[in-house]
Amino acid sequence: MYVVERFAGFAQSFRTEPLAPLVLHHAKRAVIDWYAAVFPGAVLPPATLLARALAEELDRGKSRLAMGRHATIRAAALINGSAAHTVEVDDIFRDGIYHPGAPTIAAALALAQARSASGEAFLRAIIVGYEISTRIAATMGRAHYKYWHNTGTIGCFGACAAAAELLHLDGMRFAHALATVATFSAGLQQAFRMDSMSKPLHAGRAAEAGVTAALAASEGITGSLNVLEGDSGYGRAMGEGDGPDWERALATLGKDFHITRMTFKNHACCGHVFAAIDGALALQQQMRVLAPDIERISIGTYKAALDVARHESPQTAAEARFSLKYTVASALTHGSVRLAAFEPSRLGDPVTRELMRRIDVAIDPELDAAFPAQRAARITIESRDGRRGEHLQPTRKGDPEAPLSDTELEHKYLELASPVLGEDRARELLARLWCLEREAQLELGYPFST
């Protein structure tokens, strides 16, 4: 059997199994985290500009944008997927260097709303999308991430698998959906090496591509079933050498559920800088030193963090979210890196900017060798009064080893959703999300009814 057929076989067998309580709970956590990300992104570009660009596809259809406006399935997937990746607070599958929630849940929600699916069917589809796509991401590995943006490229598979599950595609049509979406896979690292709106569009485009491929397969459109492992296929074209070991991707499928090991972000910026932020804050507290009293900071971390969070002197919010020096300096100056860190007044904060000039960054060979399975940073702070402190931050707050509790996840959601929805509306939706499997027909837009 081809790889896509084996993935489809998993989906078919999982369809008839009861949802394990632990897996179900983590699927609901993923949905809550997705809503935490989508609401602040929904009122910003590029989502607001996409709504103008796609005006002919709005105010009709049964799917909804995050703020409640009706849309076609594909428009809802594209705009909501982009919104969920805009402010950089969406979930991460660490081993795959991949944000599965933004594309997978956007696609699943758009189709579930259009087809009046139940909450349980929606959650089951998300689980299938996460399990298939995270395995492709982990198998493609670090070589793929050198040039490609995994959330755009691998996200297509998560969105497609979730949509195919909601459509109850048989095994062969499910396999053809995955084969077709492989040819839609795109998203370049270079697209966010300078100020642009391309990065969140990758997630939205992946969501749209996924539902398109699944809907096409449902009508009989076929793909090349050996597209992943073939001589000119996805693995070799977008990986390195002879391509990845696809047996690795399939080994624990249906037994070990990756959705139970997601990273939920605790800072509103690039996840590659989290270990440095956490380590710097921990060392600052230990040394009891204020930002103006720091003489020098040295940060050692893995190469991808320096490649992606590369902006030395960011001028825009988009650049600042991908600046290791800015995010660390802002955390030490203001105590956190939340959405306020990227407001215009904060971007030009003189204390933060002065501290940035006293930060040195470098690749730490030991920490680089451990990436992507471990995201760590080594921090040294020298104070103006002659003290010197060192700290190794072995993981990030929010990683599986240091997860956000349900209460902390609720706080994150309320902090991000309440300014957009109002606190009462935000709390009402949160209560419904924790009981999502009881929803007979999905109607989770804002407001909550037509």
pLDDT at site 242:
84
Same-domain status, 353 and 417: no
CA–CA separation, 399 and 406 (whole Å): 14
Same-domain status, 40 and 186: yes
| Burial class, 446, CB count within 10 angstroms (exposed 0-12 / middle 13-18 / buried 19+) | buried
pLDDT at site 449:
45
User: Residue 430: how many CB atoms within 10 A of its CB?
Assistant: 18
CA–CA separation, 177 and 192 (whole Å): 29
CA–CA separation, 174 and 171 (whole Å): 5
For residue 365, what is the domain's CATH number? 3.30.1330.120
Same-domain status, 357 and 250: no
Same-domain status, 253 and 340: no
Domain count, the chain: 2
Flag whether 433 is in a domain.
Answer: yes
User: Can you list the alpha helix ranges (DSSP code H) found in 271-396?
Assistant: 274-287, 303-308, 317-321, 324-334, 344-347, 350-356, 365-370
Chain position carrying tokens 């700290």: 391
Same-domain status, 73 and 139: yes
Flag whether 443 is in a domain.
Answer: no
Same-domain status, 117 and 241: yes
Flag whether 117 is in a domain.
Answer: yes
Same-domain status, 216 and 106: yes
CA–CA separation, 377 and 358 (whole Å): 17
Task: Give 388's strand partners.
Answer: 382
CA–CA separation, 290 and 287 (whole Å): 9
3-class DSSP state for residue 98?
strand
pLDDT at site 450:
37
Flag whether 444 is in a domain.
Answer: no
Same-domain status, 224 and 295: no
**pTM, two decimal places:** 0.93
3-class DSSP state for residue 364?
coil
| Burial class, 380, CB count within 10 angstroms (exposed 0-12 / middle 13-18 / buried 19+) | middle
CA–CA separation, 210 and 450 (whole Å): 26
For residue 244, what is the domain's CATH number? 1.10.4100.10
Flag whether 227 is in a domain.
Answer: yes
Flag whether 398 is in a domain.
Answer: no
Flag whether 306 is in a domain.
Answer: yes
- Cβ neighbours of residue 386 under 8 Å, at least 6 residues apart? none
Same-domain status, 331 and 258: no
Same-domain status, 56 and 205: yes
Note down pLDDT in tens along the chain; length 450 residues.
999 999 999 999 999 999 999 999 999 999 999 999 999 999 999 999 999 999 999 999 999 999 999 999 999 999 999 999 999 999 999 999 999 999 999 999 999 999 999 999 999 999 999 999 999 999 998 999 999 999 999 999 999 999 999 999 999 999 999 999 999 999 999 998 888 999 999 999 999 999 999 999 999 999 999 999 999 999 999 998 888 999 988 999 999 999 999 999 999 999 999 999 999 999 999 999 999 999 999 999 999 999 999 999 999 999 999 999 999 999 999 999 999 999 999 999 999 999 999 999 999 999 999 999 999 999 999 999 999 999 999 999 999 999 999 999 999 999 999 999 999 999 999 999 999 999 998 876 655 543
Domain range for 307 is: 271-393
Flag whether 447 is in a domain.
Answer: no
Query: In degrees rounded to 5, what are phi and psi of residue 63?
Result: -80, 165
Same-domain status, 179 and 39: yes
Same-domain status, 285 and 304: yes
